[in-house]
Chains A and B, each alone.
Chain A
Amino acid sequence: MSTEPQTAKPAKAPPKAPGKEAVKDASMLKQKEMMAAHYDRLSASPETGEKVVCTFVPGNLNELIMCFDLCNNLPEVNAIQSGLRRQSGAYVMEAEKAGHSEDVCTYVKSDIGMIAKGNIGPNGKKLPDPDLLLLSYTGCFTFMKWFELLRERYSCETLMLHTPYVADGKITQNMVDYMVRQLKEEVIPALERLSGIKFDIDRLREYLKKSAKAEDDLVKVLQSAKNKPSPIDGYFGGIYYIGPIFGAFRGTEDAIDYYRFLLEEVEERVAKGLGPVTPEGDMGEEKYRLVVEGPPNYTSFRQFWKMFYDEGAVVVASSYSKVGGVYDFGFRHDPDRPLETLAEYCLGVYTNRSLPMRVDMLASYIEDYEADGLLINSIKSCNSFSAGQLLIMREVEKRTGKPAAFVETDLVDPRYFSAANVKNRLESYFQMIDQKRAGVRSAA
């Protein structure tokens, strides 16, 4: 999910809380160019004749979509962009005015509100109507209803690709077979019909090879946070790092170049003993190393991040940076098993994993990254992440002996970001970590 805000034609928006222009490292600038080019490609599609497929980040089949020269559009990323540009609040209210409940996902409402207001993308140009809705139903119930809602509006073909939930901690052959059959018998024939291009499995293999290369480098970048100090922030910064691979670039040369470039940048920081780059430049002394569970708040993204780096807190690993694919436990797209690997990719994304698997993952991050504890950012309108997080918190605390804390915000609804409350809780949490450390020292 790219958080690189696109800047053309900003609408009337309240001033950003931190005020100053964000400091960006070279990889961020490179990503910004990539994202801008993608949005321009999308908005030009009515003229170029390119066909557009809307799909979701978890279970995103970018390699397959590229086999048919189709262009992907990700409504979640559009909602994030609206959040970062502080337009989502108005969009959410527009959707609520049209009868959508205040209780449901704010990504959906931001998207629907944006469409109602002309569907202007982050580049200031109209986003195209989709030619196909590829409903990759992976790890989130809301996805199903979201695309039913979009189908009602666009009356375009909608393809369900159902990913079974990995409830027992293992991917079964029955699950993989089911997904491969859906791909072979329904998804691929529909993409052939739409594009007029015959499916070429060798072309898919080539893209998958490229995906695996970029995935290798992404993992190295994310795991660089095991260093002390960590050269990256694996949550706020991590959201930038996952942008290309979770979005429209997995399987491309651009992604390979980006992650190689990013890795070099990170390795240089490790060599120099530097911490992460924040919007206000290099972070000072690393005082706290955290693992974070849950998505961020996007409407006050910088303000939220600032609450961490001002206190010397760096996030060394996060679950959200695995929402579009979990690569750090060994999975890579495998060109030798092209359809099976796509199925296994979908099955393995973070929100498609059972709660015990999520606990295992978070506990292992705390150990492997030598973190001081777990922070959960619970999102009001995201049941997929949020339901069960209080038990996750207790279990991780129990297993690791490290303190955990809980804050509550929302994805893109600014009404649910209470800066004072979040800051208070974070400050208390950092004090708790200090006390715990002092206790350990005195015991020793």
Chain B
Amino acid sequence: MTMSTTRASGTKAIIERCQILFDDLTFAAAREWKAAKPGRKVIGYMPIYVPREIIHAADMLPLGVLGGGDQLEVIHGDAYYQSYICRIPRSTIELGVSGRLDFVDGMMFPSICDVIRNLSGMWKMMFPDVYVRYFDVPQNYADDIGGSYYIGELNELRHDLGELRGSPITDEELRHSIEVYNENRRLVGELYDFRAKTPWQAPASEVYLVLRAGMVLPVEEHSVLIADYLAAARAEQRPMRDNCRIVLTSVFCEQPPLNLIKSLELSGCYVVDDDLLLVTRWLTEDVPIDGDPIGNLADAFLHHSESTAAKYEPSQAEKGQYLVRAVKRTGAEGVIFAAPSFCDPALLDRPMLQNVLSAANIPYIAFKYAENSGQMQPIREQAGTFADSIKLWSAA
């Protein structure tokens, strides 16, 4: 049985397939894709955003590399990092050193924090035969300033990937890829809307697994998978529990263990929005197909993209409002800050976001995790108490 091509129906079967993809630390699906046609190339990328359209336009597979989770034994990786640095870089190094990424032709390290930034340099030194790109994005959103710079960076990436393939990436290829990713984002948006309206029909752990499959599958296949899941989830009737509705935030880089997401649900919280796997919905509107494709991608990044801690917010009045809007849009009753230990962006941002929530009378709790956290009881207790307090408070 191949891992990437089996079509499944019914949420159980679909989620089983996603779970297999999730558990597979050898990236067999991506390896199969690469092996299916000579000359195919795979480009890994880390959170939170890279323009996957450009990789796709070069006939390459964008592969989400999100650390090793709670099943990877980190043997070599710990030798590269002090105890006070988060877990994702050490397990990513482990993936590299152990040969699990030996089929990857390039790695992209987005501008998210100093740890991932420095990891780009480490990768250059450790894997000199791999194309390594630190993907810088502007923190200035004016078209003629940050926009011009970003267009330059995108063109450089386009050029490099064209060289890696052996022929330049054409505008037509880019337009096609934009179209394909627009479709994928629309489906992800539909899935998130569906979950926000009926969270008992699409548990957060399932939605996460469906999205996570998109880190290793070709985008076309992933879009089919989302559509299948949506159809299956709509067709099934699941019991609605007396859970509160929460927005889960700060989980944009190092992944929480799947058990953590499940524990939140078990403790009485429906996750109705989150910032997991933001790359799947970073651009909030369709990117136009007509015109200059690179210019269109730049414009979308500058003017129609998500807010998160790794991004500068130029307006004090706007600071954290995205979270308030997420709460209102989804009818959430509270926010859970779950930040990875030692995560600068999430932890430095948190006090400001909490102040914004307090001003909007939105309750919240906060805790930390690592991708390999095993003990969920304290989190379950904290989240359960939070859910109870929301229900009591709402009833009053």
Chain A contacts to B: CB under 8 angstroms: 98-101, 103-105, 108, 135, 137, 140-142, 144-146, 148-149, 151-152, 155, 158, 160, 162, 164-165, 167-168, 172, 174-175, 177-178, 181-182, 185-186, 354-359, 378, 380-381, 383-384, 386-391, 395, 408
Contacts and interface: CB of A to CB of B under 8 A. Distances in A.
B355 interface: yes
User: Most chain-B CB neighbours within 10 Å: which of A175, A178, A185, A357?
Assistant: A178
B350 A99 contact: yes
Given A355-B125, A391-B80, 4 more contacts: A99-B351, A162-B140, A174-B153, A395-B125
B327 to A, nearest CB: 20
Contacts of B120: 167, 354-355
B291 interface: no
A103 B347 contact: yes
B139 A160 contact: yes
Interface residues of B, number: 57
A383 B115 contact: yes
User: Most chain-B CB neighbours within 10 Å: which of A137, A167, A355?
Assistant: A167
B114 A100 contact: no
A364 B354 CA distance: 47
Contacts of A384: 114, 118
Given A167-B134, A390-B82, A145 B348 contact: yes
Contacts of B81: 387, 390
Interface of B: 79-82, 84-85, 89, 111, 113-115, 117-122, 124-126, 133-134, 136, 138-140, 142, 144-146, 148-149, 152-153, 156, 309-310, 312-314, 316, 319, 339, 341-345, 347-352, 354-355, 368
Contacts of B343: 103
A160 B347 contact: no
A172 B342 CA distance: 32
Given A145-B348, A356-B125, A388 B140 contact: no
A152 B84 CA distance: 28
A160 B124 CA distance: 29
A5 to B, nearest CB: 27
Contact of A160 (B125, B148, B309, B312): B312
A108 B348 contact: yes
Given A391-B80, A408-B82, A162 B139 contact: yes
Contact of A164 (B84, B124, B136, B344): B136
Nearest to B134: A167
Given A164-B149, A355-B124, A387-B118, A142 B348 contact: yes
B125 A359 contact: yes
A413 to B, nearest CB: 11
B347 A174 contact: no
5 contacts: A141-B117, A178-B152, A185-B144, A383-B113, A383-B115
Contact of A387 (B89, B133, B139): B89
A140 B84 contact: no
